[in-house]
Homo-oligomer: A and B are copies of this chain.
Amino acid sequence: MSARLVGVGVGPGDPDLVTVKGVRVLAEADVVFVPVMALDVPGRAEATVRAHVTHDRVRRVVFALDDRGGVTPRRESAWAAAGSAVADAFAAGAGTVAFATIGDPNVYSTFSYLADTVAEAVPGLVVETVPGITAMQDLAARSGSVLCEGTESLALLPLTAGIAAYEEALDAFDTVVAYKGGRHLPAVRAVLEARGRLEGAVFGAALGLPDEDVRPLTEVPADAEAPYLSTVIAPPARGTRGGRL
């Protein structure tokens, strides 16, 4: 029997934002792995998965999701342990294993690292992904923002790449979306204000969760930090209907 590992994007937090295909893959998989910060703490992907999957097929693996130091020994060791857990599931007879990731498995996800690790241990492994709604898209919908229209360009980057990269993106692109913006929020706000682009910018965290926080960036205190998984959308000034077509 072939071994099939499917990375399923489950969206930012609202279980209703999983796709029909994602729900089906989660329902049919022999085992569904979810990444958590610690084995005794449910993760954001897990909460969404449990809305769709029989609980006894869900298993936690620890990922150092909030590690900001690059490829640390803690991260390497977490990937290795998670890869072993998935390989063990195949060895125990699983045909299809799903791995749930928040957002989309091909957008700032650690699924590709996990898949590389598992492929080394499981000969003939077939790897697939199911796309998921990203935080950028969910925040656009929840805040009534249009991400891009007509000939506009869109830039997406994490603030872990540095505030200078963010400034360069603002200079060259129409809409700029920043991920992982939490502790950089005061700097982001200052940079946008200096460019006259604070108007229309929106901030979002914990999208679709009980503690959801969606606001115009002007309503976020200038010195406030925010959770690691925060998103800021800065759209361009727009004129007439379809003016950018």
Partner among B11, B104, B140, B242 whose Cβ is within 8 Å of the Cβ of A19: B11
Instruction: Please give the count of copies of this chain that the complex contains.
Output: 2
B144 touches A153 (CB 8 A): no
Give the total of A residues in contact with B, Cβ under 8 Å: 66
Give min CB distance, A103 to chain B, whole Å. 10
Q: Which residue of B lies closest to A109 (CB)?
A: B149
A156 touches B156 (CB 8 A): yes
The answer to whether A245 has its CB under 8 Å from any CB of chain B is yes
A202 to B117, CA, bound (A): 24
Residues of A within 8 A of B (CB): 9, 11, 14-21, 23-24, 70-71, 75, 79, 104-110, 112-113, 116-117, 127-134, 137-138, 140-141, 144-158, 160-161, 165, 168-169, 172-173, 240-243, 245
28 contacts between A and B (CB under 8 A): A17-B131, A18-B19, A70-B242, A71-B242, A71-B245, A75-B242, A75-B245, A104-B147, A106-B140, A106-B141, A106-B147, A106-B148, A108-B148, A113-B242, A127-B144, A129-B141, A131-B133, A131-B138, A131-B140, A131-B141, A133-B133, A148-B156, A151-B157, A151-B158, A151-B160, A153-B156, A153-B157, A168-B172
